[in-house]
Amino acid sequence: MLALSDESKGIVEKHIEKVGMTYPTAAGEKVARAYGVNAYPTSYLIGWDGRILWSGHVPTGGEWVGMLDEALEEARKMADEWDPGEQPSYLKKAVSHARKGDIGKAWKEAASVASKMVDDLEATAKISTFQSLIEERAGYRSAYVEAMLQQGRVFEACEFLASSGKVFKGAPAEAAWTEQIKTLKKDQKELYSLDKKRVDALEKAAKGSPDKALKSLEKLKEKASGTPLYPIIQEDMGRVAAQAAR
């Protein structure tokens, strides 16, 4: 939980002391317009990928509580850092890499250990299970990418695949994702370009220029007509319009 306020540090510190707030709080952060805040206090439940899952007033908007477990589970699945739980001592280094978010190194270390224990059937089976868990985590990311592609978010998908490839560098998923990026850029060139411009426009809004962003999105909406990206741009325009109106 994090509290942000546009007020000065002095005002915020007095409020913290008055109400006994114990969670992290930042003062002087010009975020109200970026989030389209039009009432105080306004709360947000933000997903692991930055998407706003819910917004409202906490005391009267209890529906966010029912969304929390799923949001946390999704964040756990998609995190770079991964705790594979108790594993055999010969996988100690692999586990260490995984906990640091170096999943590719964890894969390669497990493969190295397996090459030295080929005659130990029990060990090779446990190593195989460990690597299967890594493949399962890669699968979560691939499924997320497919969901983005169904929405026409090709540029975002490619950027996510590229960043995921760094985490899984050396694991089979990295090579598969690298090829997928090449294919998407070639076969869905138009959608890739449109989505990149959409993301660029949203960055303008995030940096405090929602009016410029809205104009860019309006032009893009016309070009995206008939594509799966069209309704996404419409949703983005609604959020940016609320920001601009503040």
> Rounded mean pLDDT of 4-24?
80
Exposed / middle / buried, residue 135 (Cβ in 10 Å: 0-12, 13-18, 19+): middle
64: Cβ contacts below 8 Å, ≥ 6 apart? 43, 45, 53, 54, 56, 58
Task: Specify the pTM.
Answer: 0.87
Q: Which two tokens stand for residue 21?
A: 């707030």
The answer to whether residue 55 scores a pLDDT higher than 90 is no
Phi, psi of 25 (to 5 degrees): -135, 135
Say what the pLDDT of residue 125 is.
97
Would you place residue 235 in the very low, low, confident or very high pLDDT band (cuts 50, 70, 90)? very high
> Rounded mean pLDDT of 11-19?
81
CB 177 within 8 A of CB 220: no
Q: What gap in Å lies between CA 233 and CA 191, rounded to an integer?
A: 12
The answer to whether residue 138 scores a pLDDT higher than 90 is yes
CB 38 within 8 A of CB 246: yes
**Least confident window among 64-78, 111-125, 158-172, 182-196:** 64-78
Say what the pLDDT of residue 165 is.
98
CB 54 within 8 A of CB 42: no
